[in-house]
Amino acid sequence: MRSWRSLATQQRLVALMVAIGGAFVVWEGMRYSFGTLARIGPGFLPVVIGIGIAAIGLALVARGSDVETEQGPALRPLILVTGAILTFAVALERFGIVPATVAMTLVAAIAEPRVGVRSAIAIVALVLAIAVGLFHFGFGIPVPLFRWPA
Amino acid sequence: MEVFASLSEGFDIALTWDNLLFCFIGVTIGTFVGVLPGIGALATISLALPLTFHLDTMAALIMLSGIFYGAQYGSSTASILLNLPGTATAVVACIDGYPMARQGRAGVALFVTAITSFIGGAVGIILLMTAAPVIARAALGFGAPEYFTIMLLGLVAASSLSVGSPLKGYVMILIGIALGFVGVDANSGQMRFAFGNHNLAEGLGLVAIAMGLFGVSELLASIGTTRAANPPGGITFRSMLPSREDVRRSGGPTARGSLVGFVIGALPGAGPSIASFLAYALETRVSRTPERFGKGAVEGIAAPEAANNAAVQSAFIPTLSLGIPGDAVMAVLLGALMIHGIAPGPHFIADQPEMFWGLIASFWIGNLLLLVLNIPLIGLWVRILTIPYHILYPVILMLVCFGVFSVRNNMTDVYIMLGAGVAGYFLRIYGYPAAPVLLGFILGPLMEEHFRRSLLMARGDITVFFDRPISAILLAITAFIIIIPMVGWIRRKRARQLAPH
C-alpha cells in the first residue's frame, strides 16, 4: 500500500486522469460532424483539443513526479466542505433559506477541529443573519425562508 | 487636449452618487480581502460577480475593478506586520517590510507603501489613458486571423510565464477550452457535451466555474492552515511619518518600480507578482548599498509596491484595447462585460467612450479613496487581521453557495461549482495552475469562431495565418515562447547526462 501513498504515484495518477479526460473529449467530439478545413464542423475543435489534452497528459505520466507537490490532499476539509455544499444544494429548494443555511453552516463549522458548541451557535447566527439580510431582503431570491415539503 | 476633454466627461459619469458609492464599496472590499490572508482578489471578484448582475454595467465594472486594485493596497499590510503576505503579490513586501516592523518602524513602512502604491497606480493610469486608445486604433484593422493568433499568443504567454511547469499550464488552457464546448455551438446550433441535460444548453456558467476554481478550492486549501494572528497594535499617525532620509531614499525606487510595473503588467500573463519581484531585483542591482536590502531598507518596499500597483492598472490595457485578458482577473472582468452585453475588442473604446473614460476616472477616484482608507484608517485594517478563519470561512461558503444559485436560480450551477472546486483543489495540490483554465474557458469560444471564420475566408487554406504579416509575427512570437523553455530543458538534461554521478 505504501507505493499508493507516494506523491510520485499520486502525480502520475492525476496526469493519467487528465489523459483519460482528453480521450473522453475526443470520443465525444467524434460524435459531431468534423467538417472540412474550409467549413469546420462542431466536432473539429473538440477532437483537436482533446488530442492535445491526452498527449500532454501522457507526457506528464511519462515524466512522473516533479518537485512542485509538497503534501497530499487534506481529507477532513474536503469531505466536510463538499458535504456542506451538498447539504445546501439538497435543502434550499425543499426546506427554504433558513434550514438550508443552518444545516450547511453546522456541517462546515466542524471542518475546523477547534470549534466548540457555543462558538458554533454564534457562527450559525452570524451566517444566517447575513444570508437572510443579503439574499432574502436584498436580492429577493425566489425561495421562501421556510417551506414544508409536501 | 483630447484626452483631458474625454477624461472630464469620464469624471461626470464616475462622480454620480451611484458610481461613487460602488467605487467606494469596491475599493473597501478590495482592501479588506487584500489585508486578510487566505482570500484573494480573484475569489472575491468571482464572488461579487453575481451580485453585480443587479447593477448597471458601469457601476458593476467600477466596483469589480475597485476590488482588484484595492486588494493591492491592502496586501502589504500583513506582510509588514506579520511577515505573512495577504496575497501572492505581497510576498516581496515581507523581505524588507517585516524587518522594518521589527525595528519599530511598522508605521513608516505602512505609510510608505500607501504613498508609493498611489504613485505607482497614478503612473499606471496615466500610461493606460494614453496607450489604450492608440493600441485600439491600431487594432481596428485586425481581421479574424489576427484575432485568432493574438488570442493564441495571449493564452500561451499567460500559461508559460506563470509559475510552475509550462506543460501543466498548457494542458490547463486546453481543459478550459474544452469546458467551453459545453452547450449550443454558436455556429451549427448543435448541442455539444450536454449529455441530454437541458440545464447545460447555455453552457457552463462563468460564475460557477470561477467560484469553484478560486473560491471553493481556496477554502479547501485554507481551512486548518490559516490562523488568525496577533499583530502589534498602537500604530499612531505620528509613528507613520517617514523621516526626510526615508523620503529621499524612496524617490528613485518608486519611479523605477512604477515603470517596471507598467511594462510587466501590460504583458499577458506576467501580472503584479512578477512585476514586484522584478522591481525588487532591479533595486538591489542599482543600489549603491545593496547590503542593506533584507534588513529593513525602505527602497525594498517602495519599488515593489509601486510596481504592483502600476501593473494592475496597465493590465487593463490589453483587456480594454484588444479584448484579450492578460490574467484570470481580467478574464473574469471581460466575462462580466460580455454578461452585460458588451462585446470587448478594439471597438470598445470607440463605441463606448463614456464607459472607458468613466472607468478611468473611477480609477483616479478609487486610488484617492484608497489613500484615505490606508493612511488615517490603517488601525481598522490591522484589527481585521485578528478575525479568526473559523468564523470567516462559513460566511464565505454561504456567500459562494447563495451567490452561484442566484445567478439564474438554478441548482445545477451549484453542483458545477462543487465539481470545479474539488477538481481545482486537487489540481492545485499537484501543481496545475487554475488561472489558465479560466482564460481558456473565456477565450476558447471566441478563438473557435475566429479560427472558423479565417479558414472560411481563405477557403480552407491554413497558410492564411502565415501570409498576413501581423498574424505571422504574432505566431512567430508564440512559437518563440513555447520553444525557449524547451531549449533550457534539453540543455539541462544534457548537462545532467554529461555530469558524472
In sequence order, what DSSP letters do the residues of B290-309 get, joined into one string?
GGGTTS--THHHHHHHHHHH
Whole-complex ipTM: 0.91
Tell me if chain B has a CB within 8 Å of the CB of A144.
no
Q: Which three cell numbers stand for residue B418?
A: 462543487
What average pLDDT score do residues B240-246 get?
A: 83
Task: Please say if the pLDDT value at position A31 is more than 90.
Answer: no
Test mutation, B47, B52, B171, B207, chain A, max A CBs within 10 A: B171
pLDDT for res A55: 94
User: In this predicted model, what pLDDT tens digit does every residue of A128-138 receive, in sequence order?
Assistant: 999 998 888 87
Nearest CA in chain B to A106: B394
Mean pLDDT of chain B: 85
- Distance, in Å, from the CA atom of B281 to the CA atom of B287, rounded to the nearest integer, reads 10
C-alpha cell at B139: 487594432
Q: What is the pLDDT of residue A3?
A: 45
- Which stretch of B216-230, B243-257, B368-382 has the lowest confidence by average pLDDT? B216-230
pLDDT of residue A57: 92
User: Per the structure block, which three cell numbers stand in for B345?
Assistant: 475588442
- pLDDT of the residue at B231: 65
pLDDT of residue A2: 43
Classify residue B233 by its DSSP letter.
-
Closest CA to B38 of B315, B311, B229, B210: B229
Contact yes or no for B368/B24 (Cβ under 8 A): no
Average pLDDT over residues B219-239: 70
Of the candidate ranges B108-117, B218-227, B456-465, the one whose mean pLDDT is the lowest: B218-227
Residue A93 belongs to what H/E stretch?
A: helix A75-95
Report CB contact under 8 Å: A33, B188: yes
pLDDT of residue B499: 64
Q: Is residue A141 within 8 angstroms of chain B, CB to CB? A: yes
Using CA atoms, how far apart are residues A141 and A129, in angstroms rounded to an integer? 15
Name chain A contacts of B174, Cβ cutoff 8 Å.
22, 49, 52-53, 56
- Using left for φ > 0, alpha for ψ between -120 and 50, and beta otherwise, residue B233 falls in beta
The DSSP result for B145-211, as a single string, is: HHHHHHHHHHHHHHHHHSSS-HHHHHHHHHHHHHHTTSEE-TTT--EES-TT-GGGTT-S-HHHHHI
Task: Give pTM, 2 decimals.
Answer: 0.83
* Residue numbers of B between 194 and 253 with CB closer than 8 Å to A: 216, 219-220, 223-225
pLDDT in tens, A79-110: 989 999 999 999 998 899 999 999 999 998 87
Residues of chain A positioned with their CB less than 8 A from the CB of B397: 81, 84-85, 104-105, 108
Disruptive mutation site among A53, A101, A136 for chain B (greatest number of B CBs within 10 Å): A53
- Is the pLDDT at B282 greater than 60, yes or no? yes
Section B191-196 average pLDDT: 81
Q: For residue B130, what is its C-alpha cell?
A: 494614453
pLDDT reported for residue B230: 64
Determine contact: B171 vs chain A, CB below 8 A.
yes
